[in-house]
Structure 1
């Protein structure tokens, strides 16, 4: 659907060609006819004279609409959008009953019978198209009231041009003899009779015109198209032959610098190409984008045309303005036939585009398996990187083409991959290409390869391992594959375990902990006095307890430089945090803060509601501790948490102290092997519920 075109008085020309779609665009021809009839019959406020006038309006509108319906639509008409099926359709559009003729329009009077003069009309002139493709025009006053609506008057075609399109040679001859006929005078911008004949393929008319006025043979339209170019673009072979035999210049281009030969290749017309080449046409002319006829023939995968062009002197090493050669185009498009043909005739298999991409790189990026296989069989270099530094193997891994990855692995140097600063494993993990990831692991790629500093800086979290990519994508299968292959979960600055905890994925957390993830790690850029993973896991109490059960430090959560003294208010703005850091720097070194304290973190509004249960769980993993004043404030905020304060008060039960002592002497994974009753084993493992029931 074309854009709206609304003109105001004084600026609109009567022959405006741009269509505008307004409220009438969804109406069919029948509905428009019905609308015109209704508007002419429902003026109950007018006199008898006005009624008669309205009847004449209805008759005129009906006649205009009916004649417009019967006329043939021009080839340039665009197909309209789908009609609005919700529009009510009258049962008897041509014989409306009094109950059916209820019109609704903004003006109290029906539209005028004759259109206003566009030059003097004060208002808006809008052009639109109906659902069936009929062009309409509407005149409205500044307040929006409708003045006139009717089908646009169609321009009558000049008799000579009508005779040419109909192929009426005798009439063409008769009109040419008319004293007022000037064959060099265009009917439209730059459109001469010779162009009309070429467009409709009327070669006899073309001969007659050229015999009368041979000087117009190379005249061009307003788009720079010669009659020869038009004939080629419409596949009018006989007209092309007539024009060439009459001396038409085959090298005249349109304003996009496309030659008739280029257009013939675009049309995939071998016979047309042969005719043009037989008349000595230049074969290496570049279009406005730098493409040649050979490149267009390759894009069409037409070996016959390619062979004709090469015999006529076409060069296969010419590139367009993007540095793309015909060989590159064949690989990019997946055209194996023309690719074989070009290589057979000496095309450079490793030619690179302006961005450094090779034909192999482009074929791998687009997933063309046959092209990749063929190029590798012809010793294409798999170690040429693109402008981004990536190799064909990288882009194949990112694409997820497992077959192509398998073909590229033996042809790619692992040393060259290391120099790129990124492993195919990273890209496969980032895009969740599990099959490719498995293939790369089986091929021996280092699962602990890290991104170079340049690549790592592209990510705000400074990630570096493929494992991190898998965890942040919440891809459990990829995480399991990488860990099973020996991936180290502690190499990234922001640990994968923290990412999994933040995502709330207990399954990934379990996998990482079982494979040695450091539960007590901190974030260098955001130091804390307690394990940083607690910041992301305390909302999930079962996960929080799991981390404590498997070695998470609990005692550090009760360390506080303020103790039972007053705590400064929590700072939320940057300036307040800077002020707090300055004040802390004045404390003695022994009291200087080492980072965010647990009591500060638990005071965050999003976490403080769970303060009681969190402290309760932590107390099961420590001995004698003193709760700081901030933690006491939290426990005092809810009466149900008073029992937790009692639990923290010294002395701690001897059973709890014994448990801590045993766990300190025996590694946690060995506890279940101790020669103790099952109830005690469960107690040592902090499974109190089972212990109480034994």
Structure 2
């Protein structure tokens, strides 16, 4: 039943007069025999109306009239409750009527009377920010550590939540600073959660525990980091809050993970400086890079990588079901261009596994493979010492042997897409002999196979491969270009030898060819640019 709406036809004349604050009218009605205790549909009587309206004069008239009958009647009257369990003292405190509260307390109002929803005069005054009433009620002995909501908040919790700093200063001297609600959240945690920096400072100075943890192990530092309250994070860290406390029962979560997940760059930078780097690669831990990638917080990804967090992190297959941040980032790129996180990770040297290579090779879209080749050498020169490298190539790193092996494994399993990936790989310096095997020769289309053969000395192929070519030619599944059925010309053999001496990576991807004592017109030929790519 809703007791909050007042029906006008149920309000007594004396209650209506008390509501309007007309003391003379209240006195006249009392003398005329009207009852001061008559209630409306909400259970309100004239005293409730007078207290809520803040009419000290009407309250005095009503209390005098009832006390004239007996003191016991007056005590019962002053503590009478509405249908929602609200006393006159509660209503006056809720609306900030200090003089009325004083008058009701002198009339023996129950200072700790609870409403149906567990509130009380002190909690109502705290909620409204009425410092003088709070100070009065505390001085008169109000219960200060009681819980007054379904979630078991105390008055201190509520004062902090509302940011009533003056009231917090009153309460910290008398309240339990470590009072916990039903989720084991303390007032200091509430201050951090809602960004109440001044209240947080008052609590810290009063001796509240800065490393308090909620039921789920979250710390005040974690929640402030999650919400992006930079000032609270700074204050907590300056007050010796520990950024390396585990904040989750499920995995080793720290405050830095929350900052990375929710994209709070300033907080993230502050936490990077103080967080144990064990979380970067540590076993049974999770790098904050995972959280930044998963939430598409590209700027946080960039900051972490710039601060030397590993682009490979640790294998979190057992914790998150993910083998690397790159695998996570690539999982968001299906049927779309690669994300900014992918670009940042690749540029930082993130390693590819078999599953990662599938995203680059099992498609006719080459943007991801081109990105990889911009930043990684397939093999060949050490980027720090290679002769003739362009400035941009110094940022590249070699593919690890296992990465190259995985690339070849995936490539040979995706021969249908070879028209897309084969030209890119060969022009990037992949040694073509790595692809010269029965699988490629059996499955590749005619144009793909011809393109591959242009990068080798075809008459020297092993007999097994030559037999496959002969059979396919007979079957009509391979149509060689005319010159492939003859002996390789001397010019072709020479360029193969040049590439072997310089290294395929250096020849195809650096300016070393510019240093050779050869006419510039030969450069495209030596770099195989004269060969028509497969359609």
TM-score bucket (shorter structure):
0.7 to 0.9
1:669 pairs with 2:495: no
* Contact 2:36 2:46 (C-alpha < 8 Å) held by counterparts: yes
After superposition, residues 311-330 of structure 1 pair within 5 angstroms as 311=173, 313-330=174-191
* Cα deviation, residue 498, structure 1: 3.1
1:337 maps to 198
* Contact 1:283 1:293 (C-alpha < 8 Å) held by counterparts: yes
- The structure 2 residue matched to 1:546, chosen from 424, 430, 435, is 424
1:654 pairs with 2:488: yes
1:412 pairs with 2:275: yes
* Contact 2:366 2:420 (C-alpha < 8 Å) held by counterparts: no
- The structure 2 residue matched to 1:272, chosen from 133, 136, 143, is 133
Change (3 A) 1:646 1:159: same
1:516 maps to 398
Deviations 1:501-555 (A, max 9, x none): 756425423325434347865489xx76x535656x55xx565421243326554
Match of 2:469, SS state, is: coil
1:391 pairs with 2:254: yes
Match of 2:253, SS state, is: coil
* Contact 1:259 1:285 (C-alpha < 8 Å) held by counterparts: no
Deviations 1:605-633 (A, max 9, x none): xxxxxx77656655655745539889979
- The structure 2 residue matched to 1:282, chosen from 124, 134, 143, is 143
1:427 maps to 291
After superposition, residues 4-43 of structure 1 pair within 5 angstroms as none
1:626 maps to 469
Change (3 A) 1:184 1:521: farther
* Contact 1:447 1:482 (C-alpha < 8 Å) held by counterparts: yes
After superposition, residues 67-78 of structure 1 pair within 5 angstroms as none
Where do 5+ consecutive residues of structure 2 fail to align? 67-73, 378-396, 459-465
Partners of 1:343 and 1:683 lie apart in 2 by 74
2:239 maps to 378
* Contact 1:472 1:500 (C-alpha < 8 Å) held by counterparts: no
Change (3 A) 1:274 1:670: closer
* Contact 1:184 1:192 (C-alpha < 8 Å) held by counterparts: yes
Partners of 1:400 and 1:383 lie apart in 2 by 19
Does 1 or 2 have the higher relative contact order (CA < 8 Å, sep 6+)?
Answer: 2
* Cα deviation, residue 654, structure 1: 3.1
1:212 pairs with 2:65: yes
* Contact 1:350 1:381 (C-alpha < 8 Å) held by counterparts: yes
Change (3 A) 1:210 1:649: farther
After superposition, residues 532-611 of structure 1 pair within 5 angstroms as 532=413, 543-550=421-428, 551=430, 554-556=435-437, 559=440, 598=443
* Cα deviation, residue 442, structure 1: 4.8
Name the TM-score, length of structure 1 as normaliser: 0.59
2:210 maps to 349
Match of 2:313, SS state, is: coil
* Contact 2:361 2:421 (C-alpha < 8 Å) held by counterparts: no
What is the aligned residue count? Answer: 475
* Cα deviation, residue 266, structure 1: 1.1
Partners of 2:5 and 2:284 lie apart in 1 by 53
2:97 maps to 236
Structure that is richer in helix per residue: 2
* Cα deviation, residue 370, structure 1: 2.3
Match of 1:654, SS state, is: coil
Change (3 A) 1:154 1:177: closer
* Cα deviation, residue 202, structure 1: 2.5
2:55 maps to 202
* Cα deviation, residue 678, structure 1: 5.1
What is the Cα-based RMSD across aligned positions, in Å?
Answer: 4.2
Name the TM-score, length of structure 2 as normaliser: 0.74
Deviations 1:409-447 (A, max 9, x none): 342222355255222333344445555445444544334
* Cα deviation, residue 351, structure 1: 1.1
Moved more, 670-679 or 161-170: 670-679
Partners of 2:169 and 2:507 lie apart in 1 by 80
Partners of 1:346 and 1:169 lie apart in 2 by 49
* Contact 1:472 1:496 (C-alpha < 8 Å) held by counterparts: no
2:157 maps to 295
* Contact 1:522 1:531 (C-alpha < 8 Å) held by counterparts: no
1:682 maps to 524
